[in-house]
Amino acid sequence: MAFTNHNGPRPDTAQCYSKLNAAGDALYVIGGKWRLRIIIALSDGKRRFNEIQRAISGISARVLSNELKELEINGFVTRKVYTDFPVSIEYELTPYSDTLSPVIESLIEWGEMHRQRIMQGEPATAALEETL
């Protein structure tokens, strides 16, 4: 009964807090510049370290290495070592990563829309300079 609306800030405040927490939890594990992009890069199948690095422009080997470890710890990615000759190592998404599909798809869709908007000169954003 913590939140009765006797006249406090707003009745929906509690709901908003729970949303903020949920978003915080999500961002904790998949936030940051690279995480989602790595998952996207792996989304059409196994890939090797250098393949991933080439796919994601701007990421360094060190950062990629660290992020892959984190993603593995959190159950999004598995690392497999194939001992056939020559030895190769491949990263692959786990089924748990699939639960991110709605997030990733909506993000990509929004990104495409946003790019269109920027290219039509809507706001004064120097944003996409580098990408263009």
Chain residues that interact with a copy of itself, rule: CB under 8 A = 9-10, 12-13, 16-17, 19-29, 31-33, 36-37, 40-41, 43-45, 51, 55-57, 73-75, 99-100, 102-104, 106-115, 118, 122-125, 127-128, 131
Select from DNA, a copy of itself, none the partner in contact with residue 65, using the beta carbon and a kind-dependent cut-off of 5 to 8 Å.
DNA
70-109 binders of DNA (CB under 7 A): 79, 88-91
Nearest to DNA of 19, 79 (CB atom): 79
Q: Is 61 near DNA (CB under 7 A)?
A: yes
Q: Tell me the DSSP string of 83-104.
A: -SSSPEEEEEE-HHHHTTHHHH
Cα–Cα distances in Å, from 4 out to 11, 25, 86, 122? Answer: 8, 26, 66, 43
Element (H, E) at 19: helix 13-30
Q: CB-wise, 65 or 99, nearer to a copy of itself?
A: 99
User: Any idea what DSSP says for residue 1?
Assistant: -
Q: Exposed, middle or buried by CB within 10 Å (0-12, 13-18, 19+), for 5?
A: exposed
The residues binding DNA (CB under 7 A) are 32-34, 48-51, 58-63, 65-66, 68-69, 79, 88-91
